[in-house]
Amino acid sequence: MIPNVLSIAGTDPTGGAGIQADLKAFSALGAYGMTVIAAVVAQNTQGVWRFVALDPDFVEAQLEAVFDDVRVDAIKIGMVANAGVARAIARTLRERATCPIVLDPVMVAKSGDRLLEEDAVAVLRDELLPLCTIVTPNLPEASDLLGVPEAASIEQMHQTLEAMMKLGSEWVLLKGGHLKGAESTDLLAGHGGRWTFNAPRIGTRNTHGTGCTLSAALAALIPKMPVVDAVGEAKAYLSGAINAAEKLDVGQGQGPVHHFHALWR
């Protein structure tokens, strides 16, 4: 069965992040992609110019339209922009969703531009996160959600992971890409277990949309396999996409990854 996977997120006109990246990842991994737009973003590979959050009622109407017509096998949540939109999403998913939910707590773009209003952090943490199967914060996002200093070592990452697990999601994938070193380490916790995923750090500027792509890959894979296997597969897919990014010529800043690296010849 081909899974139907829904992305709730913001847009990227240059196609490397947000909903556009999610649809590419879904397609590359054999899932049928659907979208609910939470915000329209004017951005490119060099930065974010501005964004406009959609009216919460209209975001809710998009969600209801999907649930009223289509079987939803997994949901990925990315940029929610503000507290009103986050509440509308949480309310609807609480009533309608019966499938795995992946939350990528998008707060700040690679360029450093903020994509989540300050008053929305608490709503994201207290209302959306407890509904989720797995949440995938990087170190700055975890710091923001917890209100603690950002982890600066693997030992501190383990402490952050424990704190994140107390927020209510079934699983937490804490991404360690912001640490220095030849390897990038991610930590996974859930259902009483702990796993470590190490990968060689890839020397490239083309990392636009990596967080969106990883969480979208997880949403595409979770309907087909256990969470631990899905994390391994999603990370392998993302590594391949980053490694092949040099084949693309998109933008003058941090370029996108190559979502179809295994399919295009």
**DSSP secondary structure, 73-113, as one string:** -EEEE----SHHHHHHHHHHHHHH--S-EEE----B-TTS-
Please indicate whether residue 132 is annotated as part of the active site: no
Please indicate whether residue 210 is annotated as part of the active site: yes
Please indicate whether residue 211 is annotated as part of the active site: yes
Please indicate whether residue 99 is annotated as part of the active site: no
**Sequence letter at residue 70:** V
Helix (H, G, I), strand (E, B) or coil at 52: strand
Q: Which of 136, 211, 213, 255 is catalytic?
A: 211
Spatial contact of 74 and 222, defined as CB atoms under 8 Å apart: yes
Please indicate whether residue 10 is annotated as part of the active site: no
Q: Which of 110, 190, 212, 235 is catalytic?
A: 212
Q: Which of 209, 213, 235, 255 is catalytic?
A: 209
Q: Which of 33, 175, 176, 235 is catalytic?
A: 175
Q: Which of 35, 45, 136, 207 is catalytic?
A: 207
**DSSP secondary structure, 142-179, as one string:** HHHHHTSPPP-SHHHHHHHHHHHHTTS-SEEEEE-TTS
Q: Which of 11, 210, 235, 255 is catalytic?
A: 210
CA 65 to chain centre: 23
Cross-strand pairs, 44: 47
Catalytic (active-site) positions: 175, 207, 209-212
